[in-house]
Amino acid sequence: MKSIILNLVLSINTVLLISVFYPISAQNNIKLISQQSISNTSQIPVIAKKEFRHPQSQIERGKTLFEAARFAEAAKIWQEAADSFERQGDRINQGWSLSFVSLALQNLGELQKAQVVIDKSLALLQNQGSNIEILAVALNTKGSLKIKMGQAKDALEAWQEAELIYTKLNDRVGKIGSQINQAQALQVMGFYRRSQKLLESINQSLITQADSQLKVQSLHSLGVALQLVGDLHKSEEVLKQSLTIAQRLSLDTNDILFSLGNTARDLKQIETAFNYYQQAAANPNNPLVQVEARLNQLNLHIKQSQWQQALSLLPQISSQLYTFPPSRS
């Protein structure tokens, strides 16, 4: 039995899946995109609200599909919306829709196509006197693409441009989101201390603010950064703060539980790590994190020579992987 399991999970046995930052206004939080784009009806150009309700409904339908990880369908319907706006001569809404198309293509792993689409989106949105917040959304999408392409410096620059726009608009949520994204890029570039310093600055500004989804995201990101630089006890403290607020706001806690499991693992608190991974795996709302948590449980079982427990996880992991639609993850 031991040899069978080792052959099946050899690659897992050396490297555990770690917490990663997913760019805000990018792949793992389409709801924050809604807050930072013209899907907010107060920001939709008058012409869009009056005449183009059908493509607007396609945008909303695409978001629902995206949240369900049906990325190919989301890309298709967002492209249809972009085509509709193009026929109406609405460059702003066309560019906005294309930024979503690029986001879906990124999740399908079609990075070159995503690059072509986001380039077109930015070309449409550049030098538009009004609705520059939509340009910031597209820049955030560009940043998430550049990270996936291994071009962290370009991602950092895109998110810095987005931050300048949000600062100009006095959009505090957008500004902080872009700063968190910059912290991710700095980590990928190996500048962990700079990332940590930036995140601590962000969190300092949020201390007196009311609890919010953005505050949860910021604390979570700081906790991951602290884990990566080896400040494990502080990482655990910050991640628990993030978890408490998320629970109070009835937000999805899977990502935070997964990160807490990783920190507990690094602290050699094996049973605690198992417990956090188990909680993350028990929640079906985020199936990707669920299977990642099970993979890390599998890894720990192998390291502890717990062969029967490892073997019992394999069917769950295998069957779940086969249910995922094609995607980069």
Residue 22, sorted as left (phi over 0), alpha (psi -120 to 50) or beta, turns out to be beta
pTM for the whole thing? 0.69
- Helix axes of 254-266 and 232-248: crossing angle, nearest 10 degrees: 160
User: Which amino acid, 143?
Assistant: G
Q: What pLDDT, on the 0 to 100 scale, is given for residue 45? A: 37
> C-alpha distances in angstroms, 228 versus 12, 38, 135, 236, 266?
19, 36, 32, 12, 10
Element holding 102 (H helix, E strand): helix 91-107
Cβ atoms of 27 and 107 closer than 8 Å: yes
pLDDT tens per residue across span 228-243: 878 899 999 999 999 9
Residues 6+ apart with CB under 8 A from 150: none
Q: What pLDDT, on the 0 to 100 scale, is given for residue 35? A: 39
pLDDT tens per residue across span 10-57: 333 334 555 444 455 433 334 444 334 333 323 333 333 334 347 888
> C-alpha distances in angstroms, 57 versus 32, 121, 198, 200, 325?
18, 20, 38, 39, 24
Cβ atoms of 101 and 82 closer than 8 Å: yes
Best CA proximity match to 27, nearest among 292, 295, 255, 279: 255
User: φ, ψ for residue 267 (rounded to 5)?
Assistant: -80, 5
The 3-class SS string of 19-78 reads CCCCCCCCCCCHHHHHHCCCCCCCCCCHHHHHHCHHHHHHHHHHHHHHHCCCHHHHHHHH
Residues of the chain with pLDDT under 70: 1-53, 129, 327-328
